């Protein structure tokens, strides 16, 4: 339903944010009497357009059946929608085909799937003592801890690329950690705590030069710009449905077909097998080898609707709109005395993280909430980033496609009010 409401007459202009906003029912609420919602927490989870909600409701209300199992019409329809969602993800990422798109529980789940494979000695890429895994200092915990667990299990060593004080990852610092020992590199496309856009194409090429494979944490990467996994030459690319205007509990792991073919499955169960006997069990074809059990059917269908919705709005339009807002927000923050932006990389996506002199981020967040303004405060699951800046947490406003300059103005006025309360 939604895309025809969006007037897009050229790649970057006549993007109608008011028409977009009308499609998000959550934006119609007052959080407190007289306080309309100003939602600036999309990096944690994005609001959902009606078209996504409708797709989920329809799955449970009408096409309520298991997939890949029955000949009856409901199951056929559910299966067609579920596999249609996979096709949407193929186009969204420009994957080579449906075998390369695995439905997962989200980014965390996808990265753990990759980590499990590298810990499994039945894969010839499995790690062992002396091997190295390279991550960066700005990773989300879900792109740190799976690799720590992997190293613990295999005897491999975790190496960390430091960030600069602007929150950038410099290519020469990344290269300095690479050697013939490097078997796997894992890094974010976009940092959730700083907004930094990493030079992923160059980093992937450098990792490949030493023969390492690369897993990209794309949780924030797919939100703000068009991602082409083949142009990037990513080996694995994980993202979550709930950050791309889709449901929670669903995500995608892209993997190159040749790698997924060779990788052992992680979870055993229904759907992932070809033939089961007590002497030998063989695996189903891709992508099902990695999708054991009844999947999150409504989640996948909702995610498919979300990806179609984003592509309908136009990734270029989304990127241009958010870049304008980020520039506006950065300029307005400069007006505030005693407020320091954390994360000032040259290439940045829609995150404005900050600390305030003498005011705890949680206090700032609570006072803003009283005015209906939703931001996130805390360590943002990136404690090493907080350690880098010597803070326990920050306040973070993060942008989505539905945000406006008025939202930024409300935030700035709200922060001025907080400052006046704290004297
Ligand atoms: N990687 C990055 C860069 C993220 O931003 C997040 C979630 C994850 C991984 C994990 O995603 P999940 O869907 O599997 O949980 N980031 C945030 C955030 O910034 N605030 O809340 C969740």
Q: What is the DSSP string of 152-167?
A: HHH--EEEEEPPPTTS
142 lines ligand 1 (CB under 6 A): yes
Rounded distance from Cα 381 to ligand 1 centre (Å): 8
Measured CA to CA, the distance from residue 339 to residue 185 in angstroms comes to: 35
108 lines ligand 1 (CB under 6 A): yes
Q: Is the pTM of this model over 0.75?
A: yes
Q: Is the pLDDT of residue 44 over 60?
A: yes
Q: Residue 84 — very low, low, confident or very high, per pLDDT cuts 50/70/90? A: very high
Residue entry with tokens 């039945």: 122
pLDDT (0 to 100) of residue 243: 98
112 lines ligand 1 (CB under 6 A): no
135 lines ligand 1 (CB under 6 A): no
pLDDT (0 to 100) of residue 113: 98
Q: Is the pLDDT of residue 3 over 70?
A: no
Q: Which ligand 1 atom is at minimum distance from the Cα of 376?
A: 20
pLDDT (0 to 100) of residue 10: 46
Quick one: average pLDDT of 377-403?
A: 97
Tell me the pLDDT tens digit for each residue of 149-187. Answer: 999 999 999 999 999 999 999 999 999 999 999 999 999
Q: Which ligand 1 atom is at minimum distance from the Cα of 221?
A: 3
136 lines ligand 1 (CB under 6 A): no
Q: Residue 213 — very low, low, confident or very high, per pLDDT cuts 50/70/90? A: very high
Q: Is the pLDDT of residue 14 over 80?
A: no
Q: Residue 423 — very low, low, confident or very high, per pLDDT cuts 50/70/90? A: confident
Rounded distance from Cα 284 to ligand 1 centre (Å): 31
Quick one: average pLDDT of 118-131?
A: 98
pLDDT (0 to 100) of residue 1: 34
Quick one: average pLDDT of 298-302?
A: 98
Tell me the pLDDT tens digit for each residue of 240-289. Answer: 999 999 999 999 999 999 999 999 999 999 999 999 999 999 999 999 99
Q: Is the pLDDT of residue 96 over 60?
A: yes
321 lines ligand 1 (CB under 6 A): no
> First and final CA of the chain: distance in angstroms?
49
pLDDT (0 to 100) of residue 2: 38
53-311: what fold? 3.40.640
Q: Is the pLDDT of residue 60 over 70?
A: yes
Measured CA to CA, the distance from residue 196 to residue 22 in angstroms comes to: 30
Alpha helices in 155-272 (DSSP H): 171-177, 200-209, 221-224, 229-232, 257-262
How far out from the chain centre does Cα 16 lie? 25
The fraction of the chain above a pLDDT of 90, given in percent, is 96
Measured CA to CA, the distance from residue 360 to residue 378 in angstroms comes to: 10
219 lines ligand 1 (CB under 6 A): yes
Q: Is the pLDDT of residue 7 over 70?
A: no
Quick one: average pLDDT of 44-64?
A: 98
CA R_g for the chain: 22
**Beta strands in 12-86, from DSSP E residues, in sequence order:** 30-32, 35-36, 38-39
Extents of the domains making up the chain: 4-45+314-422, 53-311
The fraction of the chain above a pLDDT of 70, given in percent, is 97
Q: Residue 9 — very low, low, confident or very high, per pLDDT cuts 50/70/90? A: very low
Q: Which two tokens stand for residue 165?
A: 């004080």
Rounded distance from Cα 356 to ligand 1 centre (Å): 24
Measured CA to CA, the distance from residue 297 to residue 149 in angstroms comes to: 30
Rounded distance from Cα 373 to ligand 1 centre (Å): 21
In this structure, the residue with its CA closest to atom 6 of ligand 1 is 219
Residue 32 φ/ψ, nearest 5 degrees: -135, 160
Pocket test for ligand 1, best of 107, 141, 236, 374 (most atoms within 8 A of CB): 107
- 381 is annotated as an active-site residue: yes
Rounded distance from Cα 140 to ligand 1 centre (Å): 7
Residue 397 φ/ψ, nearest 5 degrees: -100, 130
Q: Looking at domain 4-45+314-422, does it have CATH number 3.40.50.300?
A: no
């Amino acid at each position: 339903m939604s895309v025809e409401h969006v007037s897009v007459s050229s790649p970057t202009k006549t993007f109608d944010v008011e028409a977009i906003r009308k499609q998000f029912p959550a934006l119609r609420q007052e959080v407190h009497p007289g306080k309309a919602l100003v939602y600036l927490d999309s990096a944690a989870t994005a609001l959902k357009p009606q078209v996504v909600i409708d797709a989920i409701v329809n799955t449970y209300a009408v096409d309520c059946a298991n997939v890949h199992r029955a000949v009856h019409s409901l199951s056929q329809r559910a299966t067609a929608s579920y596999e249609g969602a996979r096709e949407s993800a193929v186009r969204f990422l420009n994957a080579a085909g449906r075998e390369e798109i695995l439905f997962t529980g989200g980014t965390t789940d996808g990265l753990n799937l990759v980590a499990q494979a590298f810990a499994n000695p039945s894969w010839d890429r499995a790690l062992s003592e002396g091997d190295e895994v390279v991550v960066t200092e700005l990773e989300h915990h879900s792109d740190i801890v799976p690799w720590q667990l992997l190293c613990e299990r295999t005897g491999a060593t975790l190496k960390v690329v430091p960030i600069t004080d602007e929150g950038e990852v410099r290519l020469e610092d990344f290269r300095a950690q690479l050697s013939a020992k490097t078997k796997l590199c894992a890094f974010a496309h976009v940092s959730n705590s700083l907004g930094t856009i990493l030079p992923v194409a160059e980093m992937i090429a450098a990792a490949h030069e030493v023969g390492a494979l690369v897993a990209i944490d794309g949780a924030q990467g797919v939100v703000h710009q068009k991602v082409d996994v083949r142009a990037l030459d990513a080996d694995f690319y994980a993202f979550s449905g709930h950050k791309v205007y889709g449901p929670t509990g669903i995500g995608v792991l892209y993997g190159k077909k040749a790698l997924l073919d060779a990788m052992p499955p992680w979870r055993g169960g229904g759907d992932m097998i070809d033939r089961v006997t007590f002497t030998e069990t063989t695996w189903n074809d891709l992508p099902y080898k990695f999708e054991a059990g009844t999947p999150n059917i409504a989640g996948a269908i909702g995610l498919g609707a979300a990806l179609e919705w984003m592509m309908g709005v136009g990734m270029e339009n989304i990127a241009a709109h958010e870049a304008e807002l980020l520039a506006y927000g950065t300029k307005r923050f400069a007006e505030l005395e005693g407020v320091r932006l954390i994360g000032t990389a040259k290439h940045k996506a829609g995150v404005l993280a900050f600390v305030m002199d003498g005011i705890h981020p949680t206090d700032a967040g609570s006072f803003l909430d009283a005015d209906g303004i939703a931001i996130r405060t805390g360590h943002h699951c990136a404690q090493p980033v907080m350690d880098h800046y010597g803070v326990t947490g920050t306040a973070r406003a993060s942008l989505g496609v539905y945000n406006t300059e008025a939202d930024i103005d409300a935030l700035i006025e709200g922060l001025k009010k907080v400052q006046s309360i704290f004297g």
